[in-house]
A = this chain, B = another copy of it.
Amino acid sequence: MANVNRQWVLAKRPHGNVSKANFEYREGRIPKPKDGQLLVRNLYLSFDPTQRGWMEDRPSYLPPVKIGEVMRASSVGEVVVSNHPDFAPGDKVMTGGGWQDYCVASPTGAPFGVNKLPAGVPLTMPLSVLGVTGLTAYWGMLDLGQPKAGDTVLVSGAAGATGSVAGQIARIKGCRVVGIAGGAEKCKWLKKDARFDAVIDYKSEDVDARIGKLCPKGVDVFFDNVGGDILEAALNHLAMRARVVLCGGISSYNATKPVPGPANLMNLVIMRARMEGFIVIDYMNRTHIAMPELLGWISSGDLVYQEDIQEGFKNIPATLTRLFTGKNIGKQLLKID
């Protein structure tokens, strides 16, 4: 192989919408793994709304990506060189390879580590329904949402990689599930394939009024990926002792100034409700519990998912922007050519 490692680095922090101009193409040399490390060639990259937060120069659950540093991303790749006894060349692994052809990965390195792919699963699955987004849905819905059979569960960003899985898990647990998504195509998929009980198209419907109509007994669990007006609308319809699972707030990720929160937080008091945030990395040591259950639901046909696979190294930055314009249907991935 030629000693060239294509890379996209963070060139300039975004102010407002993230765009291709925030990144710069570079060619580096292929790095050399040390003892205990692996050289991994990236095959697929994962695109996640949380990457927008990593580009900001402010403290969060992970340190900011530095200017000039390869953009951080989860990835699936193939081991090329192994200096670790548990891995061999050719192994397919999931790690945080970033926007480049090759990375050095440490099985013990935070935050991604290196995990071999479960046998027999498609290469992309560990980045989508079995990956961070699927696990986020699993733990957020089950651990924080605590859905009980008969509950009404509302999900925003419902056609997304996390929302769609979260809603289906609630349906599997016997809940009535209402999804909020943008556009007829996404709504149709949610009703027909993901078998949500009802769907609200926020692009063409009055979300607040529709929640009231579709959730006459109130919302027991609200799994929120969006924030902003949609969060406020949901808080208007809480059932007693409702659980609001704060998973994300994509509506404000590209904002250039602080976006006010919901004016009706007092509804949490009136309804004795709880709003709680979480980060899936806290649950990574319990992946052995979640993964078989997710796989089982996929095998039985109870859980469906969609992947939106873009292609080509040059299209990496543009693919990230798809998340914020709602272009992706299901998990946004990119196959490196």
Contacts and interface: CB of A to CB of B under 8 A. Distances in A.
A61 B246 contact: no
Interface stretch (A74-82, A254-262, A308-316): A254-262
Contact of A263 (B232, B261, B273, B282): B261
Range of interface residues on A (Cβ < 8 Å): 20 to 34
A277 B269 contact: yes
A306 interface: no
A252 interface: yes
A263 B259 contact: yes
Nearest to A265: B261
A261 B258 contact: no
What number of copies of this chain does the assembly contain?
Answer: 2
Contacts of A263: 258-261
A247 interface: yes
Interface string A256-284: 00111111111111111111111100100
A61 B266 CA distance: 11
Interface of A is mostly: loop
Interface in A220-238: 227, 231-232
A60 interface: yes
A232 B60 CA distance: 17
B277 A276 contact: no
A249 interface: yes
A144 to B, nearest CB: 9
Contacts of A258: 263-264
Contacts of A275: 265, 268, 274-276
Contacts of A264: 258, 261
Given A260-B260, A260-B261, A261-B261, A272 B278 contact: yes
Interface hub of A232, A249, A263, A282 (most chain B Cβ within 10 A): A263
A247 B265 CA distance: 11
Nearest to A269: B277
A294 to B, nearest CB: 22
Contacts of A262: 260-261, 265
Given A273-B277, A275-B275, A275-B276, A252 B266 contact: yes
A247 to B, nearest CB: 7
Please provide the 7 A-B residue pairs with the shortest distance between their CB atoms, ordered closest to farther: A261-B261, A260-B260, A269-B277, A258-B263, A268-B277, A274-B276, A275-B275
8 contacts: A247-B269, A252-B266, A258-B263, A269-B278, A269-B279, A270-B279, A272-B282, A274-B277
Interface of A: 60-61, 227, 231-232, 246-249, 252, 258-279, 282
